[in-house]
Amino acid sequence: MADEVMDLMKNLKFTDAEATVVETPLMQEYQVRDEMDTWILAKLLSPKPVVGDTVIKAFKAIWGAKKLVETSCLKPNIFLFKFVVAEDKDNILRRTPWIFNGYFSVLDYINTLKYDPFLGIEEYDFSPLKTRLRVFGLPLGLMNQEMGEKVGNTIGEIVAVDLRKGE
């Protein structure tokens, strides 16, 4: 399909009025980059669209409405949360996964180091999903760091293995 579009573009002719180039000021890009450091883009992994206001109200109640500057539903099941400070955003990201109505919500922070002002909503990577895995029934002799890593590596990348003693 991309080849077909490129073929059509070769025959495209612009008038002088249509050929005007609009340039964006660089200063604005830097201001947006700093602001985006407090943003989280979230995608709800639901097979059908959910009511955006309901999701926003739920997360505001959990995360604290005073920590959020702005919230919006950008597309069905895709939400933008803008925090007052980056530290609040980072705390939310550390406490993933977040679940709404039984469905995982995948959070992607807008990485300002890889910032691209031309990236569209659909181009963000929602595939990494951090979650907790709890294994029951392991023999006592296998409840160790090595076994935790082996089991965890069977389903994805290990972030941490929790070896706390039970109460």
Strands of the chain (E only): list them. 39-44, 68-75, 78-83, 98-100, 103-109
Q: pTM for this structure? A: 0.62
Highest mean pLDDT among 9-13, 15-19, 77-81, 112-116: 77-81
Query: Degrees (nearest 5) of the Cα angle 29, 32, 35?
Result: 155
pLDDT at 29 over 70: no
For the segment 119-159, what is each residue's pLDDT rounded down to a tens digit?
777 777 776 666 677 788 888 888 888 988 888 888 777 77
Question: Which one of 3.30.70.330, 3.40.50.150, 1.10.10.10, 3.75.10.10 gives the CATH number of domain 25-130?
Answer: 3.30.70.330
- Domain ranges in the chain? 25-130, 132-167
What DSSP character marks residue 84? S
